[in-house]
Amino acid sequence: MNPLCSMSIKEAAKLISAHELKPSELVEVHLDRINSTDDKLNSFVTILSESALSSSLIAEKEIMDGNYKGPLHGIPIGLKDLYDTAGVATAVGSKIYRDRVPQTDATVVSMLKQAGAIVIGKLQMHEFALGATSINPHDGPSRNPWDTERITGGSSGGSASSVSAGQCMASLGTDTGGSIRIPSALCGIVGLKPTFGRVSRNGVFPLSWTMDTVGPMTRTVEDAALMLNAIVSFDPSDPGSALHETEDFTTKIGLELDGLTIGVPQEYFYETTSTEVQTALANAEKVFESLGAQIIPISLPVLEHSLAISGTIMLTEAASVHENNLKDRPFDIGEDVRLRLTQGSLYSALDYLKSQRGRHEFNNQVTKTMETVDILLAPTVGIGAPRIDDKTIVLHGVEYPALALMPRLTRPHNICGLPTISIPCGFTSSGLPIGMQLAGRAFEDSVVIQTAYAYENATDWAKHSPDI
């Protein structure tokens, strides 16, 4: 792999700003990387070679003329295929929207372009973003670069595999029940779900209006902060957008963790977690203690209600989004997604309202707990990536549906809308990445980034890359 394809955004930006690296060169090597690997990975649904090269030359001229826009200027990125892109198909991983060509860019796409980022292509995903495997019946499965017979996780599967494999330097995913964090964990990269409302969803095809979150997927924590800097804003066109002051999310990077308290829930997260993942998390706790943080065991019994609350809300809202598709073109929808949408359509208004009331109580209890700790620590996914054809997984002598294990540990933070990051923290005995998630208080995204960076800087997990 060309060394430019394993470089961080920060490293590349330093060379670009010093006129030691041309954006066109950076884009060309990444296009070459896509061409040499995507037949194995199936990360991309659309490759924008011509427009990316044209944009790179424009960026080059701007920089040479003294109009350097910042660390994303000239950086090739990918977009999950539910972000509206003017003049480029946005199919949402579906057959139904195969010919859907938006006339305008999503707000965050426009903001990234304004920051000088170069969109290199649209990325594979689970159909309608309603699934955690990225096994897509219309486009085929997105494949994990650490083992191409295994899933990437989902729904932002192509977003994770492309960054992990060096096909692009960063990507955007979405996270409703873990769809940024799950594939990031399984593919060994960083995935950041910001505080709900921090980032505009205007022009992003919806799944769940009350839980959908836009966020970056990168190779390093600092790169995630740089991406977040470019896309955070209040947007009145998004009803969920939060009127909250913007900030530089890199300001706390490098600060010590002395006095930081990290809570480790004693229930729920470890019930369906392999011994290897448990060991990796225990070792991570020791690293945090060596960095000056205090590890505090905590009890959050309300976590046991996570799946019921989030599942009812998400599926009901998804069914309302796709009401006409389910009625008019049901057999153009993949079987797994069709069954989930059907389930969502069968929930009553009473079911939905009870779940929203449950969500309120859930949030109250989590908020009260977060008064005593700064960060919540847990595994992102309880196992390494399953094989594409795995239907069930045996864990501690119990057989589970493989799909059910993917979002189990990520959903609680979608209910609360807390800023949460997944970062690499080890490997299984089979050489598969293990991810750890860190959640903070609402709008304390910078503290989450600070904590994640400190761990990343104290370990070498972020330096590993797949051999593909």
Q: Which residues are catalytic?
A: 80, 155, 179
Q: How far is CA 81 from CA 36, 96, 201, in A?
A: 21, 14, 14
Which residues contact residue 314 at a Cβ distance below 8 angstroms, ignoring those fewer than 6 apart? 176, 177, 207, 208, 211, 344, 414
Q: Is the peptide bond prior to 161 cis by the omega test (within 30 degrees of 0)?
A: no
Q: How far apart are CA 227 and CA 76, in angstroms?
A: 12
Q: Smallest Cα–Cα separation from 381: which of 401, 403, 415, 410?
A: 410
Q: Does the CA dihedral 67-70-72-75 come out positive or negative?
A: positive
Radius of gyration of the chain (CA): 20
Cα distance between residue 425 and residue 148, in whole Å: 21
Task: Return d(Cα 453, Cα 358) in angstroms, integer.
Answer: 34
Q: Are 271 and 377 in contact (CB under 8 A)?
A: no
Cβ(129)–Cβ(178) below 8 Å: no
Q: Which helix (H) or strand (E) holds 316?
A: helix 306-321
What are the phi and psi torsion angles at 95 (to 5°)?
-80, -35
d(Cα 8, Cα 26) in Å, to the nearest integer?
Answer: 12
Please state, in angstroms and rounded to a whole number, the distance separating the CA atoms of residues 249 and 446.
Answer: 5
Asked if 384 and 432 count as a contact pair (C-beta separation under 8 A), the reply is: yes
The rounded distance, in Å, linking the Cα atoms of 389 and 436 is 25
The secondary structure of 237-266 as a DSSP string is: TSTT--------TTTTTT---TT-EEEEES
User: Among 151, 125, 145, which Cα is nearest to 46's?
Assistant: 125
Length of the chain, in residues: 468
* Whether the Cβ atoms of residue 375 and residue 263 lie closer than 8 Å to each other: yes
The residue type at 308? A
Largest CA distance in the chain: 64
Question: What is the number of other CB atoms lying within 10 angstroms of the CB of residue 61?
Answer: 10
